[in-house]
Amino acid sequence: MSTVYDFTVKDMKGNDVSLSEYAGKVLLIVNTATGCGFTPHYEPLEAMYKDLRDRGFEILDFPCNQFANQAPGSEDEIHEFCTLKFGTDFPQFKKVDVNGENADPLFAYLAAEKPFEGFGKGLKNAALNKFANMNNKAFGDKAYIKWNFTKFLVDREGRVAARFEPTEDMKNVRRAVEEML
């Protein structure tokens, strides 16, 4: 597979959605969780979506419960939480695994295109790295994503342009999206 447009994912109700439906748009594909320290990222994500969607921008939200069980609810419960607490309006898909034998093929592809390069410097980032390594030990070489709210920026041709770890300042993520638009 050469672009994200070659993948089919499941919407919240379990229906197939071809990512080719998003051809020509700039995408930010994110694995999320409702009970994570990074859950407040929903706020700047939604603000970015509202400001930029008319310019051909989409955020694709994939809840994941593989990181310390931080997204334990059903798809409906997760969606309700996100819409009521953060007013999210961007597409949310079925909960997926992003690591291990059952990892969604989209996330294995995204991570192969832009591998993990670290959480950055500082005590908080070092602590997250230690915790993520412990959590992901069970996935071995299939630990594609290190934590919730990893973001992949995809250009209008469906190519993965950048990877942002959850520790990345959301202002930097927005700047990269705006430059691509």
| Distance from C-alpha of 34 to C-alpha of 42, rounded to nearest angstrom | 9
Q: Tokens representing 140?
A: 């071995």
User: Does the annotation mark 82 as catalytic?
Assistant: no
Please say whether the beta carbons of 158 and 1 come within 8 A.
no
Closest among 143, 49, 152 to 100, alpha carbons compared? 143
3-class SS of residue 86: helix
Phi, psi of 77 (to 5 degrees): -65, -40
User: From the candidates 36, 64, 111, 143, which is the catalytic residue?
Assistant: 36
Q: Checking DSSP bridges between strand 151-154 and strand 160-164, what pairing results, if any?
A: antiparallel
Catalytic residues: 36
